[in-house]
């Protein structure tokens, strides 16, 4: 009988493992330098005082005040609180509006009705043009002097003269509709998943007398579950990380009603004369944690990792 410790060490240093480490090393190094280091930097500097006054030398807040930046975010910083609530709303809205809408479109297109290819291509267009262009398009749509929304509102409700982006309630929905229905990329992935289902399963279902609705609910949707989970993670993260649309359409206003966490991070860190990097990084850490929690919840809900 050999020494078990020595045996396991020998196993670890096999030639095969050596190759695996060698292949992984460059990727790990690159990840560590361009991703892990800034991540740790953000995390540690969120416990410091770091603004224009000590731009080059962040000062640790001290053990007794270590969570000062985080406490201020949740107690006195209305803009952060607004950004936090809005980002959560956008996550929920993407899950409740964008995902069901995209799944329905994918299910309809998968039956290849007349003009399905054209519809699919049209549906993907907003996802292949830049969010900057989308922002400008919606800025014009909502403009009280040039836009169509004010005109339509005036036709329905004469004299209303609604200025979408000048009203805190309307502007939230104005920004929301600038991205919420654009699930083209997700739709393509879902379609691919549907088309990869073995036709024999449909044949068997038809032999058993299943109709199209039953095949949707009992075959397609259950088999799409892992992909729905994946695209849900992507969509929810888009909602959580929303920035471009806000920067271009509403600039967080009016009355900061359309602040998102990403926009708050920018405004606090670089968009302010105070250059409050520490507070921005604290918000960034919260955003990262929220992202991880979201991925965990969605994966759990859709059991994405499980194999059928």
Per CB under 8 A, residues contacting another protein are 19, 22-23, 26, 29-30, 52-56, 72, 76-80, 139, 142-146, 150, 160-163, 165-168, 171, 248-251, 253-256, 270, 272-276
Q: How far is the CB of 233 from another protein (least distance, A)?
A: 30
Nearer to another protein by Cβ, of 226 and 271: the residue is 271
Q: How far is the CB of 215 from another protein (least distance, A)?
A: 46
Distances (CA, A) of 77 to 82, 110, 154, 268: 9, 48, 37, 11
Minimum distance between the CB of residue 226 and another protein, rounded to whole angstroms? Answer: 31
The residue (of 66 and 141) whose beta carbon lies closer to another protein is: 141
Which residues are registered as beta bridge partners of 304? none
* CA-based nearest residue to 87, from 283, 305, 300, 306: 283
**Going by DSSP bridges, is the β-strand pair 59-60/48-49 parallel, antiparallel, or unpaired?**
antiparallel
Show Cβ contacts of residue 128 under 8 Å, excluding neighbours closer than 6 positions: 184
Contact 49, 59 (CB under 8 A): yes
Of 150 and 230, the one with the shorter C-beta distance to another protein is 150
Q: How far is the CB of 42 from another protein (least distance, A)?
A: 15
**Whose Cβ is closer to another protein: residue 86's or residue 193's?**
86
Q: Rounded to the nearest whole angstrom, what is the least distance from the CB of residue 165 to another protein in the complex?
A: 4
Q: Is the CB of 210 or the CB of 275 nearer to another protein? A: 275
Q: Which of 87, 53, 47, 50 is nearest to 67 (CA)?
A: 47
Nearer to another protein, 226 or 254 (CB): 254
- In whole angstroms, the minimum distance from the beta carbon of 138 to another protein comes to 11
Rounded Cα distance, 198 and 105, in Å: 21
By residue count, the chain amounts to 308
Q: Which has the closest alpha carbon to 225: 123, 127, 103? A: 103
How far from the centroid of its chain's Cα atoms is residue 178's Cα? 14
Per the DSSP assignment, residues forming a β-bridge with 49 are 59
């Amino acid at each position: 009988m050999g020494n078990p410790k020595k045996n396991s060490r020998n196993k670890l240093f096999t030639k095969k493992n050596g190759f695996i480490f060698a292949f992984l090393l460059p990727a790990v190094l690159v990840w560590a330098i361009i991703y892990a280091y800034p991540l740790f930097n953000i995390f540690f500097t969120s416990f410091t005082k770091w603004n224009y006054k000590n731009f080059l030398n962040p000062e640790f807040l001290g053990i007794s005040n270590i969570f000062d930046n985080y406490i201020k975010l949740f107690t006195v910083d209305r803009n952060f609180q607004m950004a936090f609530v809005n980002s959560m709303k956008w996550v929920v809205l993407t899950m409740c509006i964008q995902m069901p809408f995209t799944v329905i479109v994918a299910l309809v297109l998968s039956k290849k009705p007349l003009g399905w290819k054209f519809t699919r291509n049209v549906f993907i267009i907003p996802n292949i043009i830049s969010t900057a262009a989308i922002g400008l398009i919606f800025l014009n749509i909502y403009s009280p002097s040039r836009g169509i929304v004010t005109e339509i509102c005036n036709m329905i409700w004469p004299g209303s003269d609604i200025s979408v982006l000048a009203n805190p309630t309307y502007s939230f929905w104005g920004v929301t509709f600038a991205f919420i229905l654009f699930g083209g990329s997700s739709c393509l992935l879902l379609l691919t998943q549907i088309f990869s289902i073995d036709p024999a399963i449909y044949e068997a279902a038809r032999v058993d007398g299943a109709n199209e609705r039953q095949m949707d609910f009992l075959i397609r949707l259950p088999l799409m579950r892992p992909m729905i989970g994946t695209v849900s993670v992507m969509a929810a993260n888009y909602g959580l990380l929303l920035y471009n649309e806000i920067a271009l359409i509403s600039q967080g206003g009016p009355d900061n009603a359309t602040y998102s966490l990403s926009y708050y991070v920018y405004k606090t860190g670089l968009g302010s004369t105070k250059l409050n990097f520490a507070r921005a990084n604290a918000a960034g850490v919260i955003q990262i944690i929220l992202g991880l929690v979201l991925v965990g919840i969605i994966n759990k809900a859709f059991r994405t990792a499980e194999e059928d």
